């Protein structure tokens, strides 16, 4: 059995199918780990969502910020400026089935020596703590307070972890760490505004995985979200959002002792200014 982690698809369904041909994916023997952001900007978000859902146990998916935006649009008026791609999902005949399936995805998956998250893991958390905090959010996502969480999750504060955080502030921080984080200061305070590549950031900021004292330094972590970072492999971290949507590539990483990369070019893409 082979396990492949797949970078941000964002509705680039045709590129996904091409990538699966390249790795000779066999749904009876192999498993795909999707790093989140299955939907939104690409041309075929509905097809992507249906295809991955129908893979059943052959696919493991975690939630990205765009997936959460779709969930918010399904039950609140917060996400009023919804892209056409998401509107097509919300108007689909199998909308409720797709939304329910998405609500039951995780924020963190850990198996076989690798952890997968969409954006990162807060530097103050060790892996066990991160797993438990992910479950806190997942419990609310799957429960009766789901619409309340979707309405309250937007915002950049609080920007620093404390065990004393409670209620929606606590859940918002956890969601932001797992699905939006790129940079922190040296104390682990999140900066959710700057999104450029490492080396271009303000001097007081560091990529989250370079934060001094990061407690997951010995854990192998696969993540996406950061297209301007591109493919990155160092310090037990593997970044696999290679910007397919923006004219880059869609990447699969075979999760063996020595991770092996496969990529395909993305034909249909948007300009960064779009």
Is position 248 within any domain?
Answer: yes
pLDDT at position 274, please?
Answer: 32
The whole-number average pLDDT for the span 256-271 is: 80
pLDDT at position 270, please?
Answer: 52
pLDDT at position 258, please?
Answer: 83
The whole-number average pLDDT for the span 114-120 is: 98
Is position 231 within any domain?
Answer: yes
What are the pLDDT digits (tens) for 135-194?
A: 999 999 999 999 999 999 999 999 999 999 999 999 999 999 999 999 999 999 999 999
Measured distance CA(62)–CA(135) in Å, rounded? 12
pTM equals 0.95
Is position 54 within any domain?
Answer: yes
Is position 29 within any domain?
Answer: yes
Residue 245 has pLDDT above 60, yes or no: yes
Is position 98 within any domain?
Answer: yes
Is position 270 within any domain?
Answer: no
Residue 240 has pLDDT above 70, yes or no: yes
Long-range Cβ contacts of 85-89 (<8 Å, 24+ apart) = 85/11, 85/39, 85/40, 85/41, 85/42, 85/43, 85/44, 85/45, 85/46, 86/39, 86/40, 86/45, 88/45, 88/46, 89/39, 89/45, 89/46, 89/49
Q: Residue 202: which residues within 8 A CB-CB, separation 6 or more?
A: 194
Q: Residue 124: what are its φ and ψ, rounded to 5°? A: -80, -10
Where does the pLDDT of residue 273 fall: very low under 50, low under 70, confident under 90, or very high at 90 and above? very low
What are the pLDDT digits (tens) for 153-163?
A: 999 999 999 99
Query: Of 8-12, 83-87, 114-118, 144-148, where does mean pLDDT reach its minimum?
Result: 83-87
Domain extent for 70: 3-265
Where does the pLDDT of residue 235 fall: very low under 50, low under 70, confident under 90, or very high at 90 and above? confident
Residue showing tokens 């060790």:
126
Is position 204 within any domain?
Answer: yes
Residue 110 β-bridge partners: 115
Read off the CATH number of the domain in which 34 is found.
3.60.21.10
Residue 78 has pLDDT above 70, yes or no: no
pLDDT at position 81, please?
Answer: 56
E strands present in the chain:
3-6, 31-34, 59-61, 108-111, 114-117, 183-184, 190-191, 206-207, 220-223, 232-234, 237-239, 249-254, 260-265
Is position 272 within any domain?
Answer: no
Q: What domain count does the chain have?
A: 1
Residue 2 has pLDDT above 80, yes or no: yes
Residue 5 has pLDDT above 80, yes or no: yes
Residue 239 has pLDDT above 80, yes or no: yes
Determine the angle formed by the axes of helices 95-103 and 45-54, rounding to 10 degrees: 60
What are the pLDDT digits (tens) for 28-66?
A: 999 999 999 999 888 899 999 999 999 999 999 999 999
The helix/strand/coil state of 264 is strand
Round to the nearest angstrom and report the end-to-end CA distance of the chain: 40
CA count, 13 A, side-chain hemisphere, 202: 12
Average pLDDT, the chain: 94
Give ∠ CA 156-158-162 in degrees, rounded to 5: 145
pLDDT at position 85, please?
Answer: 79
The whole-number average pLDDT for the span 74-94 is: 81
Where does the pLDDT of residue 22 fall: very low under 50, low under 70, confident under 90, or very high at 90 and above? very high
The whole-number average pLDDT for the span 226-243 is: 96
Give ∠ CA 100-28-70 in degrees, rounded to 5: 20
Residue showing tokens 């369904």:
13
């Amino acid at each position: 059995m082979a396990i492949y982690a797949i970078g941000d698809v964002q509705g680039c369904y045709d590129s996904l199918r091409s990538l699966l041909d390249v790795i000779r994916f066999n749904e009876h023997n192999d498993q795909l780990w999707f790093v989140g952001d299955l939907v939104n900007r690409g041309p075929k978000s509905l097809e992507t969502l249906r295809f991955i859902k129908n893979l059943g146990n052959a696919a493991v998916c975690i939630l990205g910020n765009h997936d959460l935006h779709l969930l918010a649009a399904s039950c609140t008026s917060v996400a009023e400026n919804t892209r056409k791609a998401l509107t097509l999902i919300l108007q689909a005949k199998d909308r409720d089935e797709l939304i329910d399936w998405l609500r039951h995805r995780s924020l963190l998956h850990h198996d076989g020596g690798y952890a997968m998250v969409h954006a990162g893991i807060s530097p103050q958390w060790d892996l066990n703590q991160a797993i438990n905090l992910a479950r806190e959010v997942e419990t609310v996502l799957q429960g009766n307070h789901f619409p309340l969480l979707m309405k309250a999750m937007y915002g950049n504060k609080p920007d620093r972890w404390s065990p004393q955080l409670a209620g929606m502030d606590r859940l918002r921080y956890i969601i932001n760490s797992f699905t939006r984080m790129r940079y922190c200061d040296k104390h682990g305070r999140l900066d959710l505004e700057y999104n450029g590549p490492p080396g271009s950031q303000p001097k007081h900021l560091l990529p989250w995985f370079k934060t001094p004292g990061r407690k997951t330094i010995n854990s192998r972590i696969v993540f996406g979200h950061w297209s301007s970072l591109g493919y990155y492999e160092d310090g037990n971290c593997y970044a696999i959002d290679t910007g397919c949507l923006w004219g880059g590539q869609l990447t699969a990483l075979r999760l063996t002792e020595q991770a092996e990369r496969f990529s395909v070019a993305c034909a249909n893409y948007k300009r960064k200014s779009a």
